Amino acid sequence: MKGALLLLLALLAVGDARPGAKDCTELWITQDLDHFSFGADGTFEQRYLVNAEHASPTDAPIFLYVGNEAPVDLYADNAGLMWENAEEFGALLVFAEHRYYGQSLPYDGALTKPNGMWDPEKLRFLSHEQALADYATLVYRLREDKRYGGSPVIAFGGSYGGMLASWMRQKYPGAVAGAVAASAPVLAFPGMSPSFDSESYWATVTRTAERSAPGCANAVRAGFAALRAVSLAHVQDAVGACQPVTSEAERERWAMFLAVAWDTMAMGSYPYPTNYMTGGGDNPPLPAWPVRAACEAMMAEDVRAGPTGALGRLTKASGVFNNATGTVGECYELPSDDEYDGIWDYQWCTELMPQETYFAMDGVSDMFWPRSDSGASVRNRCERRFGILPRRRWIAASTGGGPRGLAAVTRVVYSNGDLDPWSSGGVRHSLGPETVAVDIPEGGHHADLFFAHPEDPPSLIAARVTTMALVRDWIVQFRREAALAVGAPTSAIATE
């Protein structure tokens, strides 16, 4: 125990010394609200962070983090792969914030109606296409500085950010010379060929649990079966609800509250404590290998007999995430829809950006319960909440319809951790010599983008080495192509 405490204190000291948003200059760029019309829809201010500490004097490579659905500080504080390679590459680091998130808010952040509900009229410029155009515009403006006029830009991103990085390379190849797309579920959309089975997401959560502790999946499955079987009168006590559970719809919401804890812990399958999955900042960390910790609680001896015992253990085990602070009192308050999905729900309802709370379960291949991903129910919800209908096949149509379309995109590396449920929608096999898949058997959600850690498993270390070797090759190729484009002799081309 003493040795573990000393290790923890050492790691905390290292964490305090790590570079992040605090080491960046905060800058702003004025962006069009709508990049694709000629009307007067107005502008907004997009925030981005820059660190030039190791940037070469001229034509430095630009490592661009394409931000996703959170304040960009979270990514600047955790994108260790960029920070730890900046000096070797002489790179300028840029972290761009996604429109409608963090402080990059159109309409001065007034995005709701008087009743507090989201205003669809003010959300209509929230799309991945608009975000990509923001990033392309930012790159263009960066290159207006003579120091970076010939700079190769490498897009980095994880999760939705990884999808954006991949799509940046596909749709704006003149803006970015390559893309690092970590844990990017670019195939998790309707209309892809082969088709995406959304249940595979929850099946991956289940495999992660069983891999963490044999027998855990069956124990969790028994807990959810108990939740479905007990009377409504018993649900409140069993799940620790603050209020009586009075309807089957509320029972379903409590089941999802518990399930989301398990998929979040599976994403957060990191070999050290970290608060990345709880939002960073001052939020509490999850333990190392949180699914393992939850499985230990799930499979602990319980003197209570019958289904409520299994359900009680499920509630306790889910508390590894749901009560990460350790400060939940006598009971849980059920989160609202906005607390679950927030403004991301609008992106689901327009372009079906992957959202696991809508994915199917079957209770057999996974450890949860039978639940369909009915297109009709999705349409009804989206029309009721936002007055819109999803474009179900637009992402597939606009990105090539699956692996065959992505194979035409060069200089992209897709990394996926086997423990991460989003790997179910990722590119798991290389599509060509310049469209490379990297598998991380012990990996959680885009763990390869994080800072190196003494507890990193060998496959994670190897993934980072592979990725940055590819990045180096892409930069050399970019410089060679740029020189040829202006007629420079190839003998004068630097090879980094």
Phi, psi of 95 (to 5 degrees): -120, 110
Tell me, yes or no, if 56 is annotated catalytic: no
DSSP one-letter string for 429-443: S--BTTEEEEEETT-
- The upper half-sphere exposure of residue 176, i.e. CA atoms within 13 Å in the direction of its Cβ, equals 33
d(CA 53, CA 90): 9
Amino acid at 274: T
Q: Return the exposure string of 239-262: e unless at least 16 CB atoms fall within 10 Å of the residue's CB, then b.
A: bbbeeebeeeebbebbbbbbbbbb
Catalytic residue among 104, 127, 151, 159: 159
Instruction: Write the CB contacts of 283 (distance below 8 Å, at least 6 apart in sequence).
Output: 275, 324, 325
Please report the DSSP string for 87-129 in residue order.
HHHTPEEEEEPPTTSTT--GGGG--B-TTSSB-HHHHTT-SHH
The tokens describing 428, both together, are 């798991």
Q: What is the Cα–Cα distance from 127 to 420, expressed in whole angstroms?
A: 25
Spot the catalytic one: 98, 128, 445, 446.
445
Judge whether 420 counts as a catalytic residue. yes
The alpha helices in 299-387, defined as continuous H runs, are: 307-322, 337-341, 344-351, 375-386
Catalytically annotated residue among 59, 418, 420, 439: 420
φ/ψ (deg, to 5) at 439: -100, 140
Q: Which two tokens stand for residue 221?
A: 């499955």
Q: Which amino acid is at 475?
A: I
Amino acid at 239: V
* Nearest-angstrom CA–CA distance, 4 and 221: 33
Q: Are 45 and 22 in contact (CB under 8 A)?
A: no
- Could you tell me the CA-to-CA distances from 175 to 67, 75, 129 in Å, in that order? 16, 21, 15
List active site positions. 159, 420, 445
